Structure 1
Amino acid sequence: MKRVPDFPVPDHIALMIHDLRQSGLSANEIAERCHLSRTTLWRLAQGEARDPAYDSVRKVEQLHGKIVK
């Protein structure tokens, strides 16, 4: 079952990307590890992706779960 966050998905992703950046990863490293383009990652981080692909969200969530404890 797909998990739905308690707040809007763009905010949820932006917060996870912020956490990853705070952990020391660069935007390029995050994009590479998530197999996303830098442009897609930037749009997610800025909240500009209003309806992001589920797969993109999942990739960021998985990396966040591995890196941010």
Structure 2
Amino acid sequence: MHRHSRTVIDAELQRLARRVPSLRRTDLAVIEAALEDLADSLILARLRNASQDTAPLLRRLFDIQRVDS
């Protein structure tokens, strides 16, 4: 899950750097830290504190409906 969050954050930083070329490296670093904090507090911390079965939590977090094959 952390890897997925990191991939999303990296993609967003690249998109932002293209759309706003005036952003400096330090600006992007601040934004990156904020996105990391958000991902950690909203998703990763909840998973760490969840019971063993995290599938129901992931379904709620990502609004996934279960499909049985």
Alignment TM-score > 0.5, same fold: no
- TM-score category by the smaller chain? 0.3 to 0.5
TM-score by length of 2: 0.35
Higher helix content, 1 or 2: 2
Higher relative contact order (CA 8 A, sep 6+): 1
Higher Cα Rg, which structure: 2
TM-score, normalising length: structure 1: 0.35
